[in-house]
Structures are given as structure tokens and as C-alpha cells.
Chains A and B, each alone.
Chain A
Amino acid sequence: MEYRTHLMVCSGTACVSCGAFNVKKLLEEEIVKHGLDKEVLVVGTGCQGFCAQGPIVVVKPDDIFYQLLKPEDIPFLVEEHFLKGRPVAKLMYTPPGEKAQIPTMSEIGFFNKQRLIALRNKGLIDAEQIDDYIGREGYNALIKVLTEMTPDDIVNEIKASGLRGRGGGGFPTGIKWEIAKKSPGETKYIICNADEGDPGAYMDRSIIESDPHSVIEGMLIGARAIGAREGVVYIRTEYPLAIKRLEKAIDQAREYGLLGKDILGKGFDFDLRIKQGAGAFVCGEETALMASIEGKRGMPNKRPPFPAESGLWGKPSNINNVETFANIPWIILNGSARFASIGTEKSKGTKVFSLVGKINNTGLVEVPMGITLNEIIFDIGGGVPNGKKFKAVQMGGPSGGCIPAELGDTIIDYDSVNATGAIMGSGGMVVMDETTCMVDVAKYFLHFTQEESCGKCTFCRIGTKRMLEILQRICDGKGVEEDIAKLEELAAQIKDSSLCGLGQTAPNPVLTTLKYFRHEYEAHIFDKKCPARSCKPLLTFEINDNCIGCTACARVCPPKAISGERKAKHVIDQDKCIKCGACYDTCKFNSIDVN
């Protein structure tokens, strides 16, 4: 049936958390109520990326973008726009600091600087319908490799594209496949790493939620290239929606004969299963991941032997990340030359980032390699909210580092980002403003790696603990002069003496903040001050003369440390104060001083 209008309701996790399913249901009800159900179709899509503005509805073909929808808006919206044909301006997006709404998606800065390859189908298809994917050239790449290409052709095409692993390491995918292909053995495995553990990064989940078949097709092509007949997707159990959609996609692919025996009548057998992780960051490491698939504790093993020679169950195995697989069908269909024409000399194509933290346009963006950090943060991200100053951006999660605002001209490619001391990583990009304390950020990441260290290597297990203690001491105002030198010494030793990437990179957040923000460490240690006013033990809260005695602060103070007569200036008992900041948040008269 032909519909005049499609309403694409974003059903990614963030929008669902904000009530997208309810919005979808109400839209459907209202449309039926007005007798429009033969003209207007409501479609649930994967993540649109603009997560801060959810729930989101995009009207096709007009491309009108509605955001921050509440259930009570829906009856009005349906009546005005879809019955009377008058788009509703007040539900459209207004850029921060501006007054005029922007009606269409393509005019919004957040979208129009992006270049979509891995996310090519985002918001355009119903992730739970294989026919939608097929309608967008889905599985054409599989047909092409099975009918026109030999496994060597596939490997060469991927090598020529210059695609590098999107999980963080940046190892050339084509070379990885070539090694696995050459490795002797009847049984080989192809594994998709969807154990997305970096806090602040969620592109893999989003790709699976919005376009699961692109990952399945990428794995099929990889399996054909290396000669694998079995595949495993190792996915975090914390991603229930992604798991559900992937299960559904696998079932549909099987039903269509795209998984199983003799695929497309070409004598190619391949099947796929899902293995749910159980919550261990270290399982993102290849050898630990395979140990976990085998049902064991996810602890890394030494290499060699490399997984390509002896991986899962001792068989040759090849592991790629979700985003890497999602790029594959596009490269096969559009050619390696076209892919390689995007980006810089050594980093080709695009990269998906999750842009989060102190930024106006939080969400998921796919940008061409070679774009600068400033373009991402200001043109796409809309800058830092509340008039605050952009201070730094953290890239690469716990293995990465902080790039200061002065280096905002850094271009996005593996080598330029590495040169700053951070890493590309899986694509988390956390923006920080002047109120973020860099010592505290370093402490945060070290706390994370310390907890997630599997405990196998002494330096990673104990060294990170010692570093964390030093950082805790500094943040508590008890730092001593030698602390910085000790941190640097421990960092070097942990990097040298750890078996896997977790330990080798764990000190990076400390090293980069020391490199660019040493003065903040020194202020904590020598002056006992936190320049960002974030480390609570170094702060004092006092009430100034603006106080009119409204008693609001005294009422919210958890330890009842604030006293004073109604309509008279209040005082904080410093001995009782737990420095929680509740008074500061509550006061409407700017009368709480934080020093």
C-alpha cells in the first residue's frame, strides 16, 4: 500500500527511555481517530543520533524534524500537521541561543556536516524488517561477493579501501582477513566484538539497534573471505534492545536463506549465534573475549599465538568490531576507491563518535576522517552549554586521553589523535568545560580500569591501585610534592609490564592530563585548591550578604548544618557541613559562596 507520509519515530535506547514507544502508540491512535491510517504510516526506526532531543519524529518525505515530544503534544500535532497540513513550529528544533526554529532535518547543523556510511540506514528503515534493509540495497554486497568475487578478491578490495579496525586499535581490516584466510584449518570462526565497554560510547549498540542486517552482511562477507562457517556475536548483556533486534534479524536472515546451508545456492554455508557477555570491560580484548565465549573467566592470554592462528577453541579466528562490519557491505558495493577517497592519507572513510558531556547537541555522529575537533564540537555539537568555556575533550575512554581546547584544530585520524596522547578508541568523545576538574577525570578513569583489571598482571592489578590512591589523596587535598613524579614512574612501569591493552593504556588518562593540565595537579598539591571548584574536600561553602533568610537552604541541608532566623542571614556550621552542595543548588539569590 502506498502512503503519502511516513512518520519515522526514533526507537533507539535513549529515545525509548524518554517515552518514544508511548509517543508512537499515541501517534497511531490519533491517526486512526482522524481516519488517516490509509495515508500516514508510523514506522519505528533505529537511533537517529540526536539523543539529547528525544523523543524524535521525522516526517518523510518533507524531512520535517520534530523533537522533545511529549504525550500531550501528539493530538495537536496530528490534527495540525497531518490533517490540516500545517507543520507545528513549536515542536521543531531551535539551536541553542537562537530564536528561529529549523523545520527540516537537512538544515540542522547537527546533521548536515555528517557523512553516513556505517549509519547509512539510520532513521530510514524499520530495524525489525529485513525487507526494509533489502529495499536499501541490503544483501546486494553478499550477492556480489558470492557471484563475482573470489575470497582473494574480497580481501584485496578491503585492503585497497584502507579500512582500519573501528574498535580502537586501528589495525587494517584487510590485512587481518588475509592472515586469517592464510591460516590453515578446516574450522574457522568469525567473531563480532559488540562488547562495547567504554563508558560514554554507544555507537555499536546504536548500529545494531538501527541496522542489524548490515552487521550480519558484513560478517557473511568476512566469513566468505577467510573461509569461516561459524560466527559469534559477543554482545553486552546490558543491551537488551540490541540483542532482541539482532536475534530477530538473524531469524529473518535464516528464513530468507541468507544464513544456513548453501546460501543463495552458491554452496556457501554460514551460521551465526549470539553470546551474551556478563559485564567485564576486559572482555573487549580479543583473547579475553574468546575465553569468555568458552565460558571461562575473561582473562587475556599472551600472543603469539595470535587469534588468526589459534583463537576460539584453538581454531583460527578473526575478530572485528561492529562498526567495522557495518562498513563492509558499503565498500563492496561502492568500491574501495570511493571509500578511500574519503579521509586522510592513512585513515580512510568515516568514524562514528558519541558526542556527550558538556555539549549542547548530545548524540551520535558519523563524520569523515580529516574533520577537525573544533568542527565536531562547535559546528555539529553546537558548543558548550550555559556560556561556559570549552576546556578539553576526552577521547578513547579509559585507554585514551584528554585533548585540550588549544589543540582543537587537531584533525580526526588515527595518527593525529595518537600524537596528542589520546587514542581514536571506539569513538567516545566526552566534552568538558571549565567546571570539570582534570585531576578528578583522571581519577575517574583510573578508578574504572582499576576495577576492571582482571588481576593477571601484577603491575596492572597493584600499580593502578597505587596510582588511584595517589590521585585520591591529591583530590582530598592531601597530596605531597613527590606525587607527580611517582605517578609518572608508575605509569611507565604499568605500560611496560602489562600483557593486554587494558594495562598498557590504563595510565593514558593520567599522562595526558599531566601533560596538558599539570598546573591543575600543582594547584591541588601545593595550594590545596581545585581550580574547577569540583573536588569537594577542597571547597568551603559560606553564605554571603545576599541571603534574605528564605530558609530554603536550611530545609534541604541533609546534616542540618545551616541555621538562622527566618528573614535573617543564615550561617553554615563548617564542622557539620558535608559539602554536598544542596544549598548551592537550592539558593535562588546567589548567596552561597564556594571557595
Chain B
Amino acid sequence: MRIKRKNPVRNCSLPDEKVDLSLLDGLLKKYAGMKGSMISILQGTQEIYGYIPKSAIRKISEEANLNESDIFGVVTFYSQFRVNPVGKYIIKVCHGTACHVQNANDITSALMLELNVDDGATTDDRLFTLESVSCLGCCGLAPVITVNEDVYGKLKRNDIPKIIKQYRDKEEGTNG
């Protein structure tokens, strides 16, 4: 499930949103003094915020005694880490080989049309993030997407609008 970034981060201008940094304290304490734990700390950070906020990098750097540049290097190297906030529903389109030969590209383009976002981006209402990943490991169901924990397999392009509608309706239901 490797995330392919269409627009990899090429500079340091990360969004700097206000987040509650005290949430990191437990995590930093757990890994204090353990060598080689940078990736685990960052994974924990992403679990808390959904992405790696810029201010969190600074705090980790200070408390775990790591260089900010090293942390940034690791964050941008591994596709698991995100530096941008994500939508409520993360849509992962599998682009493993099995899905590719079963026209996964059509599914991505149908989602881009439906959501009006680029691959890798989040809708303006912060409801959906569209991502391409490689191999979710359920090749028997190709082509496959997941919307958070829900799995949809053996898809055709024409299935996409009703899947998205389901989530939009749910949101309208909760808001209205």
C-alpha cells in the first residue's frame, strides 16, 4: 500500500497549522533514549494528527535530540508520511499490477472527475482525500478501492458516483 505522491514535497514550505503538541508527550516518553526510533515516533505522530505537522517536527527535534533536517529527510523519503492535512474519508485506489491490468487507471480518473480533485489531493470541503497506492493485497477483487476501512472490489468506472454519493449523503445526514 505504497502512496504515490503526484506532487512530492520539493521545498520546506509545509503548512503550519495550530495543533495540540502536548499530545506528543506520551509518545516521546515511550521512545526516549531508544536508538533508531525516529520512524516509530513519526508513525505515532501521524496516528495522532493524521499527518506530520511542521510544529511537531520541531518539537520532536528538540525533545528527541534529532536534527530537524534529518527528520524532514525521513518524512519525505517514506511514502507513508503525509505533510498535509487529510480529508475525513481517505480513498485509496489500488494500483498494484493486478488492478492495473484490470483498468485501475479508469477508476482513478472516474474519481478525479467525481470529486474534482487531482490524484493525491484533498477536496475543498476536507471530506475526501484521493490517493493512489500500490497493492492492497486483495488482488482477487481487482480493481479495488478502500474508503477508510470500507473495501469496494471488482469495480467498474460507473460504480464510482454511487459510492461517493453514499458518503456525501451520510455527511449531509449528520450535518442536517
* A→B interface (CB under 8 Å): 13-14, 17-18, 51-54, 197-202, 205, 236-239, 275-281, 292-298, 313, 354, 356-358, 362-363, 394, 397, 428, 430, 432, 436, 441, 444-445, 448, 451-452, 454, 556, 558, 580-582, 585-586
Q: Mark B78-103, 1 if CB is under 8 A from A, else 0.
A: 11110000000000000111101110
The residue that B95 contacts in the complex, of A199, A202, A362, with Cβ under 8 A, is A199
Contact A281 B106 (CB under 8 A): no
The CA of A14 and the CA of B4, in the complex, are separated in Å by 22
The CA of A14 and the CA of B136, in the complex, are separated in Å by 9
Sample (13) of A-B pairs whose CB atoms are under 8 Å apart = A277-B78, A278-B43, A278-B74, A294-B36, A295-B74, A296-B38, A297-B77, A357-B102, A357-B142, A436-B101, A580-B110, A581-B106, A585-B157
Q: Mark B138-150, 1 if CB is under 8 A from A, else 0.
A: 1111101000000
The CA of A372 and the CA of B109, in the complex, are separated in Å by 38
The CA of A209 and the CA of B130, in the complex, are separated in Å by 28
Contact B97 A239 (CB under 8 A): no
Contact A276 B95 (CB under 8 A): no
Which B29-56 residues have C-beta < 8 A from chain A?
35-40, 42-43
The residue that B74 contacts in the complex, of A14, A296, A354, A580, with Cβ under 8 A, is A296
Going nearest first, the 8 A-B pairs with the smallest beta carbon separation are A238-B1, A278-B78, A51-B140, A200-B97, A356-B139, A356-B98, A199-B96, A295-B38
Q: Which residue of A lies closest to B31 (CB)?
A: A295
Q: Mark B120-138, 1 if CB is under 8 A from A, else 0.
A: 0000000000000111111
CB contacts between A and B, total, < 8 Å: 149
The CA of A91 and the CA of B158, in the complex, are separated in Å by 29
Contact B97 A444 (CB under 8 A): yes
Q: Apart from A278-B80, A298-B77, what 12 extra A-B contacts exist at CB < 8 Å?
A: A53-B140, A297-B74, A356-B142, A357-B142, A394-B97, A445-B97, A452-B2, A558-B110, A580-B157, A582-B158, A585-B157, A585-B158
Q: How large is the interface on B (under 10, 10 to 19, 20 to 34, 35 or more residues)?
A: 35 or more
- Neighbouring A residues of B109 by C-beta, 8 Å: 580
* B→A interface (CB under 8 Å): 1-4, 35-40, 42-43, 70, 73-74, 77-81, 95-98, 100-102, 106, 109-110, 113, 133-142, 144, 151, 153, 156-158
| Most A CB within 10 A of own CB, among B4, B36, B153 | B36
Contact A430 B37 (CB under 8 A): no
Contact B4 A451 (CB under 8 A): yes
Contact B37 A295 (CB under 8 A): yes
Q: How far is the CB of A46 from chain B (nearest CB, A)?
A: 13
Given contacts A295-B35, A295-B37, A432-B101, contact A354 B139 (CB under 8 A): yes
- Neighbouring B residues of A277 by C-beta, 8 Å: 39, 78
Contact B134 A51 (CB under 8 A): no
Q: How far is the CB of B106 from chain A (nearest CB, A)?
A: 7
Contact B138 A430 (CB under 8 A): no
- Neighbouring A residues of B81 by C-beta, 8 Å: 278
Contact B140 A362 (CB under 8 A): yes
Contact A237 B43 (CB under 8 A): yes
Contact B153 A17 (CB under 8 A): yes
Q: How far is the CB of A508 from chain B (nearest CB, A)?
A: 14
- Neighbouring B residues of A295 by C-beta, 8 Å: 35-40, 74
The CA of A52 and the CA of B100, in the complex, are separated in Å by 17
- Neighbouring B residues of A444 by C-beta, 8 Å: 97, 100
Contact A276 B139 (CB under 8 A): no
The residue that B98 contacts in the complex, of A238, A430, A580, with Cβ under 8 A, is A430
Contact A558 B153 (CB under 8 A): no
Contact A556 B158 (CB under 8 A): yes
Q: How far is the CB of B102 from chain A (nearest CB, A)?
A: 8
Given contacts A397-B97, A452-B2, A582-B158, contact A237 B80 (CB under 8 A): yes
Contact B141 A17 (CB under 8 A): yes
The CA of A558 and the CA of B43, in the complex, are separated in Å by 39
- Neighbouring B residues of A454 by C-beta, 8 Å: 77
The CA of A511 and the CA of B79, in the complex, are separated in Å by 28
Q: How far is the CB of B39 from chain A (nearest CB, A)?
A: 5
- Neighbouring A residues of B144 by C-beta, 8 Å: 17
The residue that B137 contacts in the complex, of A13, A276, A279, A358, with Cβ under 8 A, is A13
Contact B156 A202 (CB under 8 A): no
The CA of A582 and the CA of B37, in the complex, are separated in Å by 48
Given contacts A52-B140, A200-B98, contact A276 B40 (CB under 8 A): yes
- Neighbouring B residues of A363 by C-beta, 8 Å: 140
